[in-house]
Amino acid sequence: MGRILGRVLATSTCVLIAFIAYSSQVFLFFPWYGSVISVDFLWAMVPFNILVAMIWWNYYLVVMTDPGRIPEGWQPHLVEGQSFEVKQGNGQLRYCRSCKVYKPPRSHHCRDCNKCTLRMDHHCPWVNNCIGHGNYASFMRFLFFVDCACAYHLVLFFRLVWDVVDYRYMYTPSTGTVVWGALNFATCVPVMCAVGLFSLYHFYLLATNTTTIEAWEKDKVAMLVRRGRIEKIKFPYNLGLVQNLRYVLGSSMLFWCLPTRSVQGDGLSYPVEAGTGEWHAHASGKERSSPLVPGYPPYPAYPPGAGAPGMGDNGYGYPYPDGHAVLENGTVTLHEDGQDAYARVRGRTEPGDAGEAV
């Protein structure tokens, strides 16, 4: 049922885009310019149609591009200095029992798609797809061009209305023109307000390299800080405004607005800001220590509860040889991902020493 509703909403979105973009040109702006394809008409319509074309192109990319799926058989390799995430409390690596794969950082399982999505932002019913690592840049460009096209449309519309009020209109508007004008105004203004507010929020998330899910987590963290349950901490993925934009939109500013499927990174690991400290969020508001998981060198990963030949599971869902695991100069931090809590382990790990989770 969810997939059917998604297709209906995606089709409705296409109909709405086409209605605002083309009915305004055929029934409003073309008669306004005397029903003649003049130079003035082209000067007004060519930029508008470029914006509309960019909307269609980016919408197609958002709908048709895979947002990013975890490769089959992917395992978290615990190399020295690499970040990885484990569940809170029991120390298990984040594992999706539905997809039967380990979850890389920032990935989540989408119930609508029934798949895990890399750097999942949210599931958008209007595009019938998840917004994630593979199509987030196209999604942001789509929002940007919708805002620009709606603003351009309203500028032309109000110029037309002003000409009518000021008696500059070449012909008296017909009843049909008035009806089409009212319909365009009644659809374009709500779209611009709704998408505009939504865009502002996502532009902020883009500038801070935050997903919608992580924004909810940051709100929870802020609440716990205000209540004095945890210390003030810094979000680790915020690399600065310019670097955040480059990471999502591309390294060259000249191509930020060009629709493309190219993305930065593989979606399995992400750069973090040095010295960000701990990143806490806990559903109960209490900090818990997590058992240490084995460090360097890496060992094969198995589903929780599964063992490996010659290796002990120790109940953590990650097999390793008998002995002590250690986290040196690192931290275990608590994190809430919306469905389950997990801890982010960041730092160096070396075998042969004894350590304690902080």
Q: What does the DSSP assignment read for 237-268?
A: T---HHHHHHHHH-S-GGGTTS-----SS-SS
Residue 45 located in a structural domain = yes
In this prediction, residue 315 carries a pLDDT of 38
Residue 118 located in a structural domain = no
Closest CA to 231 of 358, 55, 352, 84: 358
Three-state secondary-structure class, residue 69 = coil
In this prediction, residue 39 carries a pLDDT of 93
The catalytic residue among 124, 130, 150, 188 is 124
In this prediction, residue 84 carries a pLDDT of 52
In this prediction, residue 236 carries a pLDDT of 83
Burial string for 119-128 (b: 16+ CB within 10 Å, else e) reads: bbbbbbbbbb
In this prediction, residue 317 carries a pLDDT of 37
43 & 174 share domain? yes
10-residue mean pLDDT series, the chain (358 residues): 83 96 94 87 96 97 94 72 50 78 90 92 94 95 97 94 73 83 95 96 95 88 79 81 92 87 84 60 34 36 44 37 33 35 31 28
Q: Please state at what angle helix 136-165 crosses helix 241-249, rounded to 10 degrees.
A: 100
What is the residue range of 188's domain? 2-67+134-207
Closest CA to 16 of 104, 127, 123, 101: 127
Three-state secondary-structure class, residue 188 = helix
229 & 345 share domain? yes
14 is catalytic: no
Q: Which of 169, 192, 207 is the last residue of a domain?
A: 207
Beta bridge partners of 343: 86, 334
319 & 233 share domain? yes
In this prediction, residue 227 carries a pLDDT of 82
167 & 278 share domain? no
152 & 50 share domain? yes
148 & 57 share domain? yes
Within 13 Å of residue 115, how many CA atoms lie on the same side as its CB? 16
Query: Is-contact 133 119, C-beta < 8 A?
Result: yes
298 & 353 share domain? yes
Residue 249 located in a structural domain = no
**Helix, strand, coil content of the chain in percent (nearest 5):** 40, 10, 45
Provide the sign of the torsion angle of the four alpha carbons 184, 187, 193, 195, taken in this order.
negative
Closest CA to 134 of 72, 71, 53: 71
In this prediction, residue 11 carries a pLDDT of 95
163 & 215 share domain? no
In this prediction, residue 75 carries a pLDDT of 83
Residue 256 located in a structural domain = no
Number of domains in the chain: 2
161 & 191 share domain? yes
Residue 115 located in a structural domain = no
Query: Is-contact 149 19, C-beta < 8 A?
Result: no
CA atoms of 244 and 296, how far apart (whole Å):
30
Residue 26 located in a structural domain = yes
Residue 37 located in a structural domain = yes
184 & 286 share domain? no
CA atoms of 301 and 85, how far apart (whole Å):
13
51 & 148 share domain? yes
> How many residues are recorded in the chain?
358
337 & 222 share domain? yes
Residue 245 located in a structural domain = no
Q: Which of 189, 207, 225 is the last residue of a domain?
A: 207
